[in-house]
A and B are shown apart, each in its own frame.
Chain A
């Protein structure tokens, strides 16, 4: 078997295996309740890929149904995962939820504006169903990338990078959505890559995402809770700050 034949198979099997393992680890660690949408996404994509293996060839009509319907549901779920991470991150901070809800709504409005512009700018009278599907997928990916940009910016700026699993999920989707969007743009809009190349590179991008998720979910967590607190000079620091605050408000 040549490398060109082997590569698509490897790119197909690696995420399938990794996602099955991630689903099992999530079940064992009780993470299904924490990230239910991500769990459903993981199970769905792995199941779809496993079912597709049963088909002898990809020309089959049933194969197309399973592939494209699975893809559509996966995209919807991946949008849901972004919302899930956001809710998970800010659940402990009740007073900040209103602020983030407002920012979230603004981000959604901005994303809808971008989508509207894209819809108006998209080429009319596309040649076949495949092209249409790619254009719809491209639009959904734009929305996902907008949401991820917002989410990851917030995580970085607010120092929420300690949230182990959330970081892994967001990073995986961030890589995949961005690379897939570039590929969709190159394929659907610029027509600068062939279908076969598009499929292989898309699989490679998904492999990167699956490896990122696997790294975060399979890595052992060696952290232990704090049992005691050491002495420090924070009281002095606190006094200095209080003094500055008083000065500030007097002025």
Chain B
């Protein structure tokens, strides 16, 4: 009976995961115009405050335990929503990296590789941070610190800027050449 339950659970989980894989979760993106239209604005200052341990300590001293727990859950829900948006941005940038790589420009392809790599690293970090915040949502009194995840995101954005600068340089060279 135990093995039957385990097998049916594994099969159910597999079907659920296929559904999550196939459902249109991420925005369709086929060009940079799509990226401009569909990327999410994330206020990182707000996010940083939401998961700041100092802010947590301050709130703990200010509110009663039930109020503190309620307040923390609201803050963590907002933080998780922001992380979802950052994750979607990273996934869209990975797609842009793929599209850039499909072109004939080898320099651009190399930059696209770096962009994809940076986006993947960010997603790996999100995989570590999100479960932590979800556990924290369940147990708001837990006092472990959040791992730093901003660095890969910063690198990711700088990759994109370098990619853009490369394109601009090539465009200006082409214009000069007539």
Contact = CB atoms under 8 A, between A and B. Distances in A.
A33 interface: no
Contacts, number: 178
A148 B163 CA distance: 35
Interface string A205-242: 00000000000000000111111111110110110111
Given A149-B10, A155-B21, A156-B21, A226 B96 contact: yes
B107 interface: no
Given A234-B160, A245-B148, A118 B119 contact: no
Contacts of A247: 48
A93 B10 contact: no
A173 to B, nearest CB: 9
Contacts of B87: 159
Contact of A159 (B32, B36, B119, B151): B119
A225 B4 contact: no
A245 B123 contact: no
Interface residues of A, number: 63
Contact of B102 (A118, A190, A225, A232): A225
A28 B10 CA distance: 36
Contact of B150 (A157, A160, A230, A244): A244
B20 A156 contact: yes
What DSSP secondary structure best describes chain B's contact surface?
helix
A127 interface: no
Contacts of A240: 44-45
B161 A230 contact: no
Interface string B99-128: 111111000100001001101110110010
A181 B32 contact: no
A146 B10 CA distance: 7
Contacts of A158: 120, 123-124, 127
Contact of A237 (B2, B6, B157): B157
Interface residues of B, number: 69
Interface in A115-174: 117-118, 121-122, 138, 142, 145-146, 148-149, 152-153, 155-162, 167, 170-171, 174
A75 to B, nearest CB: 16
Contacts of A185: 4, 7-8, 11
Contacts of B55: none
A178 interface: yes
A202 to B, nearest CB: 14
Given A92-B117, A158-B124, 9 more contacts: A95-B117, A158-B120, A159-B90, A167-B22, A171-B21, A181-B7, A223-B99, A244-B48, A245-B150
Interface of B: 2-4, 6-8, 10-15, 17-18, 20-22, 25-26, 30-33, 35-36, 39, 42, 44-45, 48, 54, 87-88, 90-91, 94-96, 98-104, 108, 113, 116-117, 119-121, 123-124, 127, 148, 150-151, 153-154, 157-158, 160-161, 163-164, 167-168, 171
20 contacts: A93-B117, A148-B17, A152-B18, A159-B26, A159-B90, A160-B94, A161-B91, A162-B91, A170-B18, A171-B18, A178-B15, A185-B11, A224-B30, A225-B102, A226-B103, A226-B108, A230-B32, A232-B36, A238-B154, A242-B154
